[in-house]
Amino acid sequence: MNRLKQLRELGQSLWLDSIARPMLEDGRLERLVRDFSVTGLTSNPTIFDAAFAATDAYDDGLRRGRAAGMSAEAVFVALALEDLRRAADLFAPIYESSRGVDGWVSLEVSPLLAYDTEGSITAAARLHTQAERPNLFVKIPGTPEGVAAIEQSIFAGVPVNVTLLFSREHYRAAAAAYLRGIERRIAAGLDPRIASVASVFVSRWDQAVHDAVPPALRNRLGLAMARRIHRAYRDLLESARWRALAAAGARPQRLLWASTGTKDPAASDVLYVEALALPDTIDTMPETTLYAYADHGTVGAAANIGEDDGEDVLRQMGSAGIDVDAMSDQLQRAGTQSFVASWRRLLQRIEHAA
């Protein structure tokens, strides 16, 4: 476990990209916190769809909800919040000792609202109230419509995990929405300490271009985009605008690496974790990736990647015919569609529960 502890000492938070009721009931999540330096977790519709399909632990709750006449979505939210409240309580000591920097769990608004600003605002506020936990993020996608919902939700005091960010432009839009929300709170005399994270999806880039680039460029685009975004993140934290907000008591919107499990079986299973072991960031990873890094990850590998390496890779991608600007929006749409498909399967599963 020393490798994971060293990542924590470097200043990176390790979150689990998974949740299922059995890991709460058999003590597995508690063990990951105790022995594997896990200090938070994230969820999404695909994770819960897999959890509901893999276990009968939700069956009694499904039947009770359906018998009570609850909608499939209401049943899901109730059951998901049961899990996430338990996880949030487990992380509560971390949340308190870090003064709200760490120890978070996340629940996503319906992906059907990805292009509905007002619907997202309403849903985020409702989930925040229902959660009854200070350390639960509401996830809102960084679509153009989601960006407007992020600003309003932050202003309303809802902690937001911005999801489905793929490019520097996506990140900057999400960060600007967060800043505007905080600035509005300060102008209104409200507490500026509303937490947020910006979740950047990494490995999906490499999946998308795997067959379109030469072998030498495979599994390099996701990291190049991540490095570009990390530079923008640092630039923002050094800006006069952010320093003024920090002086007023605001906290930075932390950068979170998502989709860090390796998809290509020919590549290292800790490729993304090693390369993105950067201070003041979060890596949320699948359980298998966490175990792999604990077993054979190399601490300090990120230091061997030069600041200009990412831009050089992006230039090579352009020469290979890859338009990353167009692809970033395509990947965001595809990610939204994937979550919608998982969401619909999940609701159908609930509707058909006996």
Q: Which of 139, 185, 204, 227 is catalytic?
A: 139
Looking at the DSSP bridge assignments, the partners of residue 256 are 199, 282
Q: What is the length of the chain?
A: 354
**Which of 218, 192, 193 shows the shortest CA–CA distance to 203?**
218
For every residue of 59-74, DSSP letters joined together read: HHHHHHHHHTT--HHH
**Whole-number percent of the chain with pLDDT over 90:** 93
Query: What residues contact 247, with CB distance under 8 A and at least 6 apart?
Result: none
**Which of 119, 122, 150, 118 shows the shortest CA–CA distance to 137?**
150
Distances (CA, A) of 147 to 51, 161, 260, 261: 29, 12, 24, 26
What is the model's pLDDT at position 66?
A: 84
Confidence check: pLDDT of 275 > 90: yes
Element (H, E) at 162: strand 160-165
What is the model's pLDDT at position 1?
A: 54
**Which of 201, 209, 182 shows the shortest CA–CA distance to 193?**
182
What is the model's pLDDT at position 317?
A: 96
**Which of 197, 195, 228, 193 shows the shortest CA–CA distance to 317?**
228
Using a 10 angstrom Cβ sphere, with 0-12 exposed, 13-18 middle and 19 or more buried, the burial of residue 208 is middle
- Cα separation, 178 vs 49, in Å, equals 30
For every residue of 4-58, DSSP letters joined together read: HHHHHHHT-EEEES---HHHHHSSHHHHHHHHS-EEEE---HHHHHHHHHH-STT
Token readout for 224 is 């190049």
Q: Which domains does the chain have, with CATH numbers?
A: 2-351 (3.20.20.70)
Q: How far is CA 256 from the centre of its chain?
A: 6
- Alpha-helical (H) ranges within 55-209 are 59-67, 72-97, 117-131, 144-155, 168-187, 203-209
C-alpha count within 13 angstroms, C-beta hemisphere, residue 200: 30
- Cα separation, 34 vs 13, in Å, equals 14
Token readout for 12 is 């990176």
Phi, psi of 229 (to 5 degrees): -70, -40
pLDDT in tens, 145-203: 999 999 999 999 999 999 999 999 999 999 999 999 999 999 999 999 999 999 999 99
- Cα separation, 246 vs 252, in Å, equals 8
pLDDT in tens, 6-19: 999 999 999 999 99
pLDDT in tens, 16-47: 999 999 999 999 999 999 999 999 999 999 99
Phi, psi of 270 (to 5 degrees): -125, 20
Q: How confident is the model at residue 300 (pLDDT cuts 50, 70, 90)?
A: confident
Q: Is 139 a catalytic residue?
A: yes
**Which of 256, 201, 51 shows the shortest CA–CA distance to 62?**
51
In the chain, how many H helices and how many E strands? Answer: 16, 8
